[in-house]
Structure 1
Amino acid sequence: MKKRYFIWFLTGFLMLNCSCNDWLDVNPRTEMKEEDMYQSEKGFKNVMNGIYIQLASKDLYGKNTSYYFPDLLAGYWYKTNNSTENYIMSYLYSNSYVENVIKTIWSKYYTVIAHINDLLENLDKTDVHFTNGNKELLYGEAYGLRAFLHLDVLRLFGPVPVGASDGTNAIPYVTELTRDPSKLVSVTYGEVKRMILEDLDRAEKYLAADPFMLGSMYDLNNPGGNGVNYTPDDDWHYYRQTHFNIYAVDATRARFYQWIGDKTQAEIYAKKVVGVKNTDETDKFVLATNSSYTSSEKGALVMASEHVFAVNCSDLQDIINGVMITSSSSRPKLYLQNAWISSVYENPESDNRSKGGRYFQTDGSYAYYLKYYESGTIAATDMVPLIRLAEMYLILIENSTLTEAREYFEIFRQARGMDFAISIGDETARKNQVEKEYRKDFWGEGQMFYYYKRQNKTSWSIPQSVTIPENGFVIPKPKGQSAFE
C-alpha cells in the first residue's frame, strides 16, 4: 500500500473517547498512517469501532443530535434566560453560541462520513484476508451508515419536505474522501434521495448474511450466557443492534419514505420491521411493556428491546451530568416544569412512560428527565436509541387504513399501559393521537422536531407554547460551508 498520511480534518478524531484503545493508540492523535489502520482485519474493525464511537460522542448522538439541539427546538425543555439553550429555543440561529453548536453538528456529521468513505475506499483495494463474512459486514454497515447519516443531515439542514421539489437545493452527499471543496457542495433534493436509496440497496446486499438474522437480541447480547440458542463465530458479531444491521436498512427506508411523503412505501418497510421473527418464531423486536421496568434487564428506560439501531456511549453518565441531571444544588441545563408531565401524558399514573416517577425526578415545581440516568433502581445501558420499534408502529398507525391503524394502535396502547379507551374514529383523531404518541415516546431522543418539520406544523402548545418563525425549520448551514456553495 502506498504510504499515505490521512490528516483527520475538522475535530472528529480529537473527540473520540477512550473505549476503543486500539483505535486511539496506533499513532499520535492528529495523524495516523493509513497503512497501520488497514493492514489487518482487526485494523478494519477498529476503524469501524472508531466510527461508532464518534457517533456516540457528545457532538452527535451522545448529546447534540438527540436530547439537546432538536429537543430544544421541539420545546421539550424549560427556557432559561441568557443561555445557549434559550437562544436555540428562540430559533436565533445567527447567535454566535448557536452558530457554534450548528457548526459542531455539521462538522462532526461530515467528519464521520469522511471516515466511512475512507474505510470503503480501503475495503475496495485491500488484499487483507477476512474471516467469518466480516468484509461483507463492514461494507454493509458502512454503506448503511452513510445513507442513515445523510438522511439525518437532510432532516436537520434540508428543506421542509412538504412542497420541496426534486430540484430544490439540499445538502452535500459525499461519497469519496476528498478535500476538494467542489465535491462538498450541496446537491439537489432529488439527488440526495436517489443516493440514500442506492446506499441502502448496497447495504442490504452486503448484509444478506447478517448474524442478527440467526440470533435473537438476547442471544447476541449475552455472550456465553445461559439460555443462549445461537453463538456467532466471531465476537465482533455480538450486539448487532449497536451496529448498522440488516433490519436497520428497512427501518431507515421506512423513515426515509415517511420523510418524503411516500406513505405506501413507508408502510411496506415499517411492516417488514414489525414482523421480523427469530428462528423460533418469536418477535425479533419487542415493544417495551410495564414488565420491562420491573425485570432485572438493563435498558428499561431507553426501551432496549425495541432498538433496531442504537449507539453505545461509554461516557454518557459524564456527559449528562449537569446537562440532564445534577448532583449539585444548581439545576441542570435541561429540565421541565412538573405541570408539563400531565399535559403530555393523558393519564400519567397509567402510562408506563410516566408512572411511578420512572422518568421524572421532581424538584419543587420542576423535574429532571431520567431516560439516560444510572439510577439506584433502574440500571442504564449507556445506549442512545437511533431507531426504535415504536417509530415503525407509529408509521403504520399514521399510514395504514383506519381499520389496520386501530389494530396497530391497540397493540401499542396496551404495551404502553394506557388502560383507558382511546378512539381513532377518523383522520383527525388519528393525526392527533400519532402526534401525542410521538411526544410521549421520543422525549430525549430528538425525533419530535422532525415530526413537526415533516408535518410543517409551525405552532403547538404542549408541553409549552411554541411558534416556529419563518424558515425556522431549516437549520442554516455553517458560514464556512455557505461561503463556497
Structure 2
Amino acid sequence: MRLRNCIGSLLLTLMLCSCNSWLDVDLINQSEESDLFSTERGFSEALAGVYCDIAASNMYGQTLSFGMLDIMSRIYDYSQIPNKMKIFRDYDYENKDMKSYIYLLWSSFYANIAALNNILEWSEKNASVLSDERRNQVRGEALALRGLLHFDIYRLFATDVKLDPKARVLPYQTKFGVKTPPVYSTMDYLKLVIGDLEDAVKYLENDPIKEVKPYQLGNGDDENKDGADLYVARMNYYATKALLARVYLSMGGDKIKDARRLAEEVIDCGKFALVNYEKSLNTDEANKDLLFSDEHIFSLRGQNVKSDAEGVHKQITGTDGNVQMASGYQSILYLGDLEDYRLNWYKSFYIIKYTSDNSERFFPKMPMIRLSEMYLIAAEGWMEDDPEHAAELLQTLKQARTKSIVNKQTVTEEMILLEMRKEFVGEGQLFYVYKRLNHDIIGNTSEDGVKASNSVFVLPLPEEEIEYGYRN
C-alpha cells in the first residue's frame, strides 16, 4: 500500500507538473540536489519530471507521434500537407527549420537521459532515504526509461542494425555529467539497451501492477486514486518486457524468438485486454475511449495532447490548413470493412483520435506500448516457425477490431505491415516499422510512396554533435 501511494503521488505530480524546472539539470547545484533527493517524494517528483517532459509536444506528445513521424510515414494526403510541415513530408533534413527540430529532439533525449542518470546516482548516494521496495521501483523505472529513450535515438539516428551492425555512430550515456560518453557500434549500442531493460525487469519484480488488472479498474477522472493510470502511466514491469520484445524484433535473426516469447508473456499475463466494443465505443461521446485504454501497457499523460492534436488534425478553413487523409483512404486501408472499430478514429478526412471531447473521463494521453503490438510481434515472430500459431494470433487481434467474421489466413510480412498501418495511426510507430523492414513507404495515395533508403530513414546527427566526434 505504501508503494502504491508513492506511485499515486508520482502520477498526480506528473499530471500537474509544468515541466519547466527539473530538466535544467546543469543549473541545479549540489545543495539543491541534496534537498531534492532527501525524501522519497523528491525521487517521485524527479521521475515525474521526466515522464512529464517526454510527454511534451517536442517529444512524444506530438513530434514523435502524430506530428513529424506520422507525416514522414506518409499516412496523410501528400498534397494536403500544410506548408510548415512539408519539411517532414519531403525528408528535407538540410532545411534550417528541420535541423532545429532534429537538434531539439537530440537535446531533449539526452537531457532526459541525464536526469535519469542523476536519479540513479542519487538512489545510490541517498539509499538510506528510500525503503528497499521504493528504491527498486525508482531504479527500475529509471533504467527502463533510459533504455526506451536510447532505443528511440537508435531508431531515428542510426542505420538499421541488420544492415550495418558495426557502424559506430551513437553515444550511450550511463553517467550523469558533462564528460563525452563513448560511441558504440549499433550492435553494441542495442546490447546496452537490452542490459538496461533486463536490469529494470529485475528491479521491478515486485511492481504493484502484478497485484491488479489495470483494464478492470477503469480510467475515469473520479477513479484516478485506484484506476489504471496508477499502473500504466509509467514504465512498469510488463511495459519493460514489452519494450524488450520490440527491441529484439528490431534486431531480427535469432532474436525474433526472444521477441515472440516476451510478447506472449505480456499477452498471457492477463493484465491488459483488447478493446471491448460495447464498453469502449458503443456509448455516448463523453465516454467513448478512442485510445483503446484497456490495451495500454504504457502511455504518457500530457495536459497539451488534445490542444496539440487539434493544431495538427482539427478541420479548419484556409489555404494552409491541417493534415488530412486522402479521399477513400480509410475504405482502402481497412479493406472496405465498415464494421472496423478503428474507423471511429476518423471523421471525414480528419483524425479525431486525440481531439474528442472526453477529457473528463480520459485524461489526455499518448499510447506508447499497446497490447495489439504484442499480438503483431508474436504473429510475426511465429510466421515461419509455426504458421498455424501465427495465424491464430493475428486472427484474434483482427477479430477484436470488427463485428465482421475474420477467418484465419497464412501470415506474411505484407499482411503484418497492413495491420500495422491500420493500427498505429497517430502513434508515430509506422515510420520505425518501414525502417525495420527496409520497406518502401506506402503513401496515402498510390502516388505518394517513397523508396526505402537511409537518406529517408536515418536522421543526420546535429552538426553540434558531429563536432564532438559522435560520427566516425
Using the size of structure 2 for normalisation, the TM-score is 0.86
Provide the secondary structure at the position in 2 that maps to 1:171. Answer: strand
1:349 corresponds to which residue? 338
Query: Helix, strand or coil for the counterpart of 1:59?
Result: coil
Contact 1:374–1:380 (CA under 8 A) maintained in structure 2: no
Please point out which of 198, 207, 212 is paired with 1:210: 207
1:442-466: per-residue Cα shift (whole Å, max 9, x none)? Answer: 0000111111101101343455522
Q: State the match for 1:126 in structure 2.
A: 126
The separation in 1 between residues aligned to 2:22 and 2:259, in whole angstroms, is: 43
For 1:483, the equivalent position in structure 2 comes to: 467
- Give the stretch that moved more between structures: 445-454 or 284-293: 284-293
Residues 93 and 459, structure 2, Cα contact 8 Å, conserved in 1: yes
Deviates more, 1:337-346 or 1:293-302: 293-302
Structure 2 gaps of 5+ residues are: 1-12
Deviations 1:415-450 (A, max 9, x none): 00161555523xxx5222211110001000011111
1:189 equivalent to 2:180? Answer no
Q: How does 1:70-469 map to 2 (within 5 A)?
A: 70-79=69-78, 80=80, 83-131=83-131, 133-165=133-165, 167-180=166-179, 182-183=180-181, 185-218=182-215, 239-261=230-252, 262-276=255-269, 283-291=270-278, 292-295=280-283, 300-325=289-314, 332-354=321-343, 358-362=344-348, 367-375=349-357, 380-400=362-382, 401-417=386-402, 419-422=404-407, 424-425=409-410, 430-464=412-446, 465-468=448-451, 469=453
Residues 77 and 323, structure 2, Cα contact 8 Å, conserved in 1: yes
Which region of structure 1 is more displaced relative to structure 2, 285-294 or 473-482?
285-294
| AA of the residue aligned to 2:140 | G
415-424 or 62-71: bigger deviation: 415-424
- 2:241–2:266: 8 Å Cα contact kept in structure 1? yes
Instruction: Decide whether the 8 Å contact of 1:242 with 1:312 is kept in 2.
Output: yes
Q: Is the 8 A contact 2:287 2:358 kept in 1?
A: no
Residue 347 of structure 1: CA displacement? 2.1
| CA shift in 2, pair 1:374/1:45, >3 Å | same
8 Å Cα contact 2:305/2:364 also seen in 1: yes
RMSD of aligned alpha carbons: 3.0
Contact 2:215–2:272 (Cα < 8 Å) also in 1: no
SS at match of 1:287: coil
Offset, 1:340: 1.2
Contact persistence 1:20–1:46 (CA under 8 A) = no
Supply the AA of the counterpart residue of 1:322: G
TM-score (norm 1): 0.84
User: Aligned equivalents of 2:238 and 2:445: distance in 1?
Assistant: 33
Task: Give the paired residue count.
Answer: 444
Deviations 1:10-33 (A, max 9, x none): xxxxxx998227x76899998442
CA 161–458 in structure 1, closer or farther in 2 if over 3 Å, else same = farther
Distance 1:197 1:385 in 2: 22
Query: Cα distance, 1:305 vs. partner?
Result: 0.6
Q: CA deviation at 1:164?
A: 2.1
How far did 1:333 drift? 3.0
Q: Distance in 1 between matches of 2:82 and 2:264?
A: 46
TM-superposition CA deviations, 1:150-202 (whole Å, max 9, x none): 1111111111233222x21232110011212x32x531112212211211121
Q: Using a 3 Å threshold, how does the CA distance of structure 1 residues 461 and 18 change in structure 2: closer, same or farther?
A: closer
Q: Kindly state the Cα deviation for residue 329 of structure 1 after the two structures are TM-superposed.
A: 6.1
Change (3 A) 1:224 1:432: closer
SS for the counterpart of 1:57 is: coil
Deviation at 1:88, TM superposition (A): 1.3
Gaps of 5+ in 1: 1-15, 277-282
Distance 1:24 1:263 in 2: 40
Q: What displacement does 1:307 show?
A: 0.7
Report how far residue 211 of structure 1 moved. Answer: 0.3
Report the CA distance shift for 1:116/1:28 in structure 2 as closer, same or farther (over 3 A).
Answer: closer
Secondary structure of residue in 1 paired with 2:64: helix
**Is this contact kept in 2: 1:170–1:186, CA < 8 A?**
yes
Q: Is the 8 A contact 2:83 2:320 kept in 1?
A: no
Distance 1:351 1:86, change over 3 A: same
Matches of 1:107 and 1:377, distance apart in 2: 31
Structure 2 vs 1, CA of residues 120 and 17 (structure 1 numbering), >3 Å: closer, same or farther? closer
Whose RCO is larger (CA < 8 A, sep 6+)? Answer: 2
The answer to whether the Cα contact below 8 Å between 1:289 and 1:352 also exists between their aligned partners in 2 is: no
SS at match of 1:476: coil
* Contact 1:299–1:381 (CA under 8 A) maintained in structure 2: no
Which secondary structure does the structure 2 equivalent of 1:170 belong to?
Answer: strand
Quickly say closer, same or farther: Cα 1:155–1:298, change in 2 above 3 A. Answer: farther
2:59 counterpart residue number: 60
CA distance 1:462–1:372, change in 2 (3 Å): same
8 Å CA contact 2:297–2:371 kept in 1: the answer is yes
User: 8 Å contact 2:339–2:402 — kept in the other structure?
Assistant: yes
Q: SS of 2:357's equivalent?
A: coil
SS at match of 1:386: strand
Percent identity (aligned): 25
Residue 76 of structure 1: SS of its match in structure 2?
coil
Q: Once the 2 structures are TM-superposed, how far is the Cα of residue 471 of structure 1 from its aligned partner? A: 2.3
